[in-house]
Amino acid sequence: MSKSNISFLLALLILLSCQTPEEVHKIPVYAWMGGPGESTDEELIIKFSDLKEKGLDGLMYNGGQDPATYKRVGKLVKDAGMEFHAWIPTMVQKKTPEIQAEWYGVNGKGESALDKPAYVDYYTFLCPNHQGVYDFLAGMYTAVAEVEEVDGIHLDYIRFPDVILAKGLWEKYGLVMDREYPEYDYCYGTKCVADFKALTGIDITTVDDPSQVESWKQFRYDLITQMVNRLSDQIHKTGKTVTAAVFPGPNSIAKKIVRQEWDKWNIDAFYPMHYNDFYLEDPEWISEVTKEGIEATEGRVPLYSGLFICPEPEKREVEKDPENHGLLPEEMGIAIRASMENGANGICLFTPDRMTDSHWKAFKEAVHYVYEVRK
C-alpha cells in the first residue's frame, strides 16, 4: 500500500470516528410490534434500546385500547429515542357493552359479522355507516391520542372484510376466489341498503351480480374514506398524527379486495403492507406497488413500505402456512432497494421479532445505502 493510500485511509478513519451514529446516513425505519404482555419495565427498556441500536426510528405499537398502557410503554420507547405510535385496529372490534350488535357488518347472505364472521373468528367487522361506530372509535382513539407519550394514532383494519382473499391465502382457507361471493361481500345491512337506494335509486338486494355495479363499489369506498377523514379530523385536534396500514395499491389491490380508496384519505403517512408472498410475487414486485402508491398520492405525504419477514428462513421451502412466509435474509436488500428507488420514504418491518441475525445483517447493509429514486 502506498503512503498516499495510507494517509487517505487514516483521514477516512478520523472522519468516521468523529461521526456520531446519527450522522451516518440511514433510511427511516419503523416496525409493527405488539405487547407488553407480562414484560417488566426493565425487560422493555432492554428490548427498545436494542431496536434503536439496530436502526429503528419508531414503533407502531399495539397494546390494546387502554391509554394507561400507552403511557407506560410510550415513555420507555421515547426514552430509547424512538417515535411512539399507537397501532389500534379500527373496524374489527370485539363485542362489548359499548358496541351494539346492530353496528356489525352484514354480508350478501344477510349474516352478521358478529354471529358469523368471514374466514376467521376474529373477523368481527363493524359497518362504517353508523354514527355510533364513529362515536365509539373517535372516543377510543382520542383518549389514547391525548396521552403525552403518544406521537400518533396508527389505524389498521380500516376497511371492509376481504371480498377476495390475497392469492397466497387461497390454499390455506381452501378457497378459489375467482369473483366476489356474497358470504364475503359487505355491507348489506338495512341502513347501507336504504342509503344506497336513496342515493342511486338502486335496490342492491335485487341485483344479480352486485360486483358489476360500480356505484355500489364507490358507495363502500366512500364509507371507509369518510370514516378515516372524520377520525383524522378528530384525532388531529389533539395535535397528534394519523397514519394507517393499508393494502398495496390503491388501485391494483386495496380497492378491489378490501375497498380502500386510500389515495383519498386525509392522513399524515401511509404504510402499505407490501407483503409479496401473500400475492405469490417475488420481492422485486415491491417496486411496482411502491411506485403505484407514490403516484396515486402524488407524494403529498410520506409512504413507508411495509415488509413481511420470514421468521424461520430454513423452513421456508417446506412451510405451508403463508403467515410464516415472507422475506428471506437474502431478499431484504432487494425489498429495501425496490421500496426506496421507487419513492418510499422508508420502510416498516413486520415484525422485528421475526428478524433473524442474518436478516439484521442484510438489513444493516441496506439501510445505510444512499438510494436514488428511479425516474
* H/E stretch holding 153: strand 152-156
Q: How far apart are CA 190 and CA 207, in angstroms?
A: 16
By the rule CB under 5 A, 192 interacts with Zn ion: yes
Provide the minimum distance between the beta carbon of 128 and Zn ion in the complex, in angstroms, as a whole number: 7
The stretch near Zn ion (CB under 5 A) out of 46-54, 123-131, 267-275, 306-314 is: 123-131
The stretch near Zn ion (CB under 5 A) out of 48-56, 120-128, 302-310, 338-346 is: 120-128
Provide the minimum distance between the beta carbon of 253 and Zn ion in the complex, in angstroms, as a whole number: 23
Using an 8 Å Cβ cutoff, are 118 and 184 in contact? yes
By the rule CB under 5 A, 58 interacts with Zn ion: no
The residues facing 269 across adjacent strands are 243
Provide the minimum distance between the beta carbon of 131 and Zn ion in the complex, in angstroms, as a whole number: 12
Provide the minimum distance between the beta carbon of 224 and Zn ion in the complex, in angstroms, as a whole number: 11
Q: Between 123 and 360, name the residue whose CB sits nearer to Zn ion.
A: 123
Show contacts with Zn ion in window 17-56 (CB under 5 A).
Answer: none
Provide the minimum distance between the beta carbon of 133 and Zn ion in the complex, in angstroms, as a whole number: 9
The stretch near Zn ion (CB under 5 A) out of 29-37, 189-197, 302-310, 316-324 is: 189-197
Q: Which of 77, 88, 91, 127 binds Zn ion (CB under 5 A)?
A: 127
Give the 3-state secondary structure of residue 240. coil
The residues facing 119 across adjacent strands are none
Residue written as cell 378515516?
228
Contacting residues for 368 by C-beta, under 8 A, at least 6 apart: 24, 25, 26
The DSSP code sequence of 33-94 is: EE--TT--HHHHHHHHHHHHHHT--EEEEE--S-HHHHHHHHHHHHHTT-EEEEEEESSB--
Residue 47 is placed in which grid cell? 428490548
Q: Between 175 and 204, name the residue whose CB sits nearer to Zn ion.
A: 204
By the rule CB under 5 A, 112 interacts with Zn ion: no
Q: Between 27 and 127, name the residue whose CB sits nearer to Zn ion.
A: 127
By the rule CB under 5 A, 276 interacts with Zn ion: no
The DSSP code sequence of 306-342 is: EEEBPS-GGGTTT---GGG--B-HHHHHHHHHHHHTT
The stretch near Zn ion (CB under 5 A) out of 119-127, 164-172, 173-181, 345-353 is: 119-127
Q: Between 129 and 339, name the residue whose CB sits nearer to Zn ion.
A: 129
Task: Give the DSSP letter of residue 259.
Answer: -
Contacting residues for 304 by C-beta, under 8 A, at least 6 apart: 28, 30, 269, 270, 271, 344, 345, 346, 347, 348
Q: How far apart are CA 241 and CA 268, in angstroms?
A: 6
Q: How far apart are CA 267 and CA 269, in angstroms?
A: 6
Q: Between 56 and 227, name the residue whose CB sits nearer to Zn ion.
A: 227
Show contacts with Zn ion in window 169-188 (CB under 5 A).
Answer: 187
Q: Between 189 and 352, name the residue whose CB sits nearer to Zn ion.
A: 189
By the rule CB under 5 A, 63 interacts with Zn ion: no
Q: Which of 129, 238, 297, 342 binds Zn ion (CB under 5 A)?
A: 129
Provide the minimum distance between the beta carbon of 191 and Zn ion in the complex, in angstroms, as a whole number: 5
By the rule CB under 5 A, 165 interacts with Zn ion: no
By the rule CB under 5 A, 189 interacts with Zn ion: yes
Q: Between 134 and 360, name the residue whose CB sits nearer to Zn ion.
A: 134
Give the 3-state secondary structure of residue 7. helix
The stretch near Zn ion (CB under 5 A) out of 128-136, 227-235, 260-268, 357-365 is: 128-136
**Residues contributing to the site for Zn ion (CB under 5 A):** 127, 129, 187, 189, 192
